[in-house]
Structure 1
Amino acid sequence: MLVAADVLGAPCWLSLVARDLAAAQRFYGSVLGWTFRPGGFGRAFSVAERHGVPVAGIGAVAGELAVPVAWTAYFAVGDADQAVAGVRERGGTVGVGPVSYPPRGRAALVADREGATFGIWEGGVLSEWSVGEGKAPAWLELHTRNAFDAAVFYGEVLEWDTDGGSCCEVSYEDDQVVLRRAGEPVARLNSGPVEEAAWKPQLRPRWLVHFKVPDLEAATALAVENGGHTVPEPEWGGGRHRQVTLRDPEGALFTLDESPDAV
């Protein structure tokens, strides 16, 4: 367990808010080969692991919190109250929190100016968890109206690329904003056609979670066999691997990427 100071500003966890924990475990276990252990927040929560390494959390709390079934990326902050205030000051919204989870930390669920939801976490994080390109099992991509405007918003809220203690650096590559931690890409921000989102929900501004698989066709077939379904591929730039976007049986959107690093 690391204190948040070691990862300030960076993605620090992935969480699926579901309705049925057992059903979510069956689906993602079948498609991605995950195993599960209790999550420490009660019987409604579990931690997904791949080869014994934590990948994500699942909490069957969508009904309790009155929030949609969805994947959420959390970012580490030094002060949850300050981060929430920063979101509001810059035109974002706060959905839940900050909520205390003693003795681990405090969390909030918020949205940026375009409505893309993300989480903030103040507290310790798992040192063996990782996200990004390379060997990590997942990576993150923000789909938004204007990636450069979004980078300003997140940079101010999460203190990216500043002297305020953030571990993250921002660069601009091929019309994308790339977020790096210790030189390694951990997330990308892309501009895209959000004006079509009214009739194409998959194009709404969002943080999309990508899970890496060694065989895209096989993983997609397993997802469909287990109650998921594919959705039209969003017209966003930046794809470096073959990928398929799907919804799980409860409707949570995610993407499978074929990657030579997946095991």
Structure 2
Amino acid sequence: MARDLDSAQRFYGAVLGWDFRPTHLGDGVVVAFRDGAPVAGIGALTGNRGVPVVWTPYFAVEDADATAARVRERGATMAVGPLAFGTGRAALAADPAGAVFGFWHGEAVPDWSMGRGSAPAWLELRTRDAFAAAIFYGEVLDWDSERPGSCTVSYEHDHVVLRHGHDTVARISGGALEEAPDPEVRPRWHVHFHVPDLESAIDAATGLGARAASPVQTSVTSRWMVLSDPEGALFTVVTPQDGNP
């Protein structure tokens, strides 16, 4: 959600190589595409200036009302909705540790994918207790169930890993601090976007008014940096290390 939809499109188009198309959700929402594949949605914030500009993951559900009831039953907070929105119903919630997420019941953009191609590289939840978070989201969103198409959950190297088929779509990591002043440390969902060249993306972003919110970080498989866009929304750009797919 952005305050200036046109400026957001110019920024992310230049930094991440996205182009944008209108949707059946109205004039205030566009879908970003990379190489013909849908990547993300950007909507226009209106009214309350106190609402932060932020990237939020939305999870598909089969029944928005039932999902909202499960959120409340498990000690979490329903912030907005479920409300009718375009061809479906959407809602915003905060999990028991305070991380904000959304869910959606209805028609989705065709061929939307996670964890492969031009889609977001992956989602990461950094929270206090990864095991407790996995139980909460599994119960609320019906992960690791017998329902066809359900995501599978596994525990690997002190992380919880969520997969859909062969694609890794999310990871849950523990150790975040609820009252930490730094939003990088508080429980929240982090959105990671693929870029072909990390330094080029960082230069483009900072040249258009973004700021670095972390140093460049590395692992065996990838390199990444957290950026804050000109309106303050945090996102991560990530590229594979040489020799990795």
Same fold? TM cut 0.5: yes
Give the partner amino acid of 1:255: T
- Quote the residue 1:112 is aligned against: 95
Structure 2: give runs of 5+ residues left out of the alignment: none
Give the partner amino acid of 2:89: R
Q: Cα distance, 1:154 vs. partner?
A: 0.3
- Quote the residue 1:144 is aligned against: 127
Residue of 20, 34, 46 corresponding to 2:30: 46
- Quote the residue 2:153 is aligned against: 170
Q: Cα distance, 1:128 vs. partner?
A: 1.4
Whether the aligned pair in 2 keeps the contact of 1:100 and 1:106 (CA below 8 Å) is yes
Q: Cα distance, 1:199 vs. partner?
A: 2.4
Of 165-174 and 217-226, deviating more is: 165-174
- Quote the residue 2:42 is aligned against: 58
Q: Cα distance, 1:63 vs. partner?
A: 3.6
The 3-state SS of whatever aligns with 1:156 is helix
Q: Is 2:17 the partner of 1:33?
A: yes
Change (3 A) 1:193 1:205: closer
Q: Distance in 2 between matches of 1:62 and 1:203?
A: 28
Structure 1 outlier segments of 4+, above 6 Å? none
TM-score by length of 1: 0.85
Give the partner amino acid of 1:186: V
Give the partner amino acid of 2:119: P
Q: Cα distance, 1:232 vs. partner?
A: 2.8
When the two chains are superposed, the root-mean-square deviation of aligned CA atoms in Å is 2.5
Residue of 224, 227, 234 corresponding to 1:246: 227
Change (3 A) 1:27 1:147: same
Give the percent of matched residue pairs that are identical in Structure 1 and Structure 2.
53
Whether the aligned pair in 2 keeps the contact of 1:160 and 1:166 (CA below 8 Å) is no
Change (3 A) 1:238 1:80: farther
Q: Is 2:60 the partner of 1:79?
A: no
Q: Deviations over 1:86-120 (max 9, x none)?
A: 11111111111101124x21110111001111111
Structure 1: give runs of 5+ residues left out of the alignment: 1-16
Q: Distance in 2 between matches of 1:241 and 1:227?
A: 25
Q: Distance in 1 between matches of 2:125 and 2:220?
A: 12
Residue correspondence of structure 1 range 198-213 to structure 2 within 5 A: 198-213=180-195
Matched residue count: 243
- Quote the residue 2:214 is aligned against: 232
Q: Cα distance, 1:159 vs. partner?
A: 1.2
Change (3 A) 1:239 1:202: farther
The 3-state SS of whatever aligns with 1:209 is strand
The 3-state SS of whatever aligns with 1:107 is strand
Select the structure with the greater relative contact order (CA < 8 A; seq sep ≥ 6): 1
